[in-house]
Amino acid sequence: MKAETSEGLVLKLYGGFYYVKDQPGVLYECKLRGKIKDQILVGDRVLFTATEEGQGVIESIQPRLNQLYRPKIANVDMVFIVMAHDRPAPSLALLDRLLFLVLYHNIVPCIVLNKCDLKEDRNTVRLREYYPSAGFDLISTSVTQDIGIEKILDLAAGRTAVLAGPSGSGKSSLINRLLGVKTRTGEISEKIGRGKHTTRHVELFALPCGGLIADSPGFTILDLPGVESRELSDYYPDFQDHRTGCRFMDCLHHRENDCGVKRAVEAGQIADFRYQNYLVLLEEVMKNERCYR
């Protein structure tokens, strides 16, 4: 009798095995069928055959909704971009790059301003004051004071979410708290099996709200995808209302005259630092275009 295939979700990759949870919630340690050539990612929905108790073979990958490359994960609904209130102070250039990448992949972003019990610096004030008015959700959190945790859980309910951001922003401590694991800084979480600053691979964890969340290694440098220069501003929601005031339909909002976006910057409707970060990305995109001509 031929074994039946089941649909499952890849929770983690470790030691050459793929850990797949089926719809009833049973976890299987799986290998790959030899015919599969595409790389399997955490978050992939797969068809697999159970070979014996707790083990199986992955037969095929279901079509993906999207995929991120840093971290490598598929079928993401939301990205929580974690920036620290201080120590380290938030990098608005990195934040804008991350926001662009998340929107480019058609994923919902939410900014998490962690360690809100610490003092503010200039970038923290800019972040807190500008981005909500630009249309982005922002949640202030503190693990030590239990602030903002329920708001994240409410947004993550029923979704597959990712925590992303630079090292030192407190992602591992935050994910411990979201999972209901209370540990002091530097201790090893029994549930996750690692300590502070030791995230080395991507893994999905079940949240008490019914969603899934992935921690990811910290990073500071992100390559841009193959976006065209005339498309870049499409991923800046705070530019959209002002683009109608541009003389040219393909305006890059850079050296052109009669540009509605530049007028909005001059009027303070778009933050100057946000616009300058856009110009840095635009120059990078244009450089890539010149290289491939």
What's the number of domains the chain is made of? 3
Alpha helices in 52-199 (DSSP H): 92-104, 122-130, 149-156, 171-178
In-domain check, residue 194: yes
In-domain check, residue 220: no
> Same structural domain for residues 157 and 92?
yes
Q: List 164's β-bridge partners, or say none.
A: 81
Q: Which residue range is the domain that position 276 belongs to?
A: 229-291
In-domain check, residue 198: yes
Q: Specify the 3-state DSSP secondary structure of 187.
A: coil
Nearest alpha carbon to residue 194 among 14, 20, 68: 14
Each of the 293 residues of the chain gets a pLDDT tens digit; together they read: 457 899 999 999 998 999 999 988 999 999 998 888 789 999 999 999 999 889 999 999 999 999 887 778 999 999 999 999 998 999 999 999 999 999 999 999 999 999 999 988 899 999 999 999 999 999 999 999 999 999 999 999 999 999 888 888 998 899 999 998 654 344 333 443 333 444 457 889 999 988 999 876 655 456 678 899 999 999 999 999 999 999 999 999 999 999 999 999 999 999 999 999 999 999 999 998 887 66
> Same structural domain for residues 208 and 151?
yes
d(CA 210, CA 199): 23
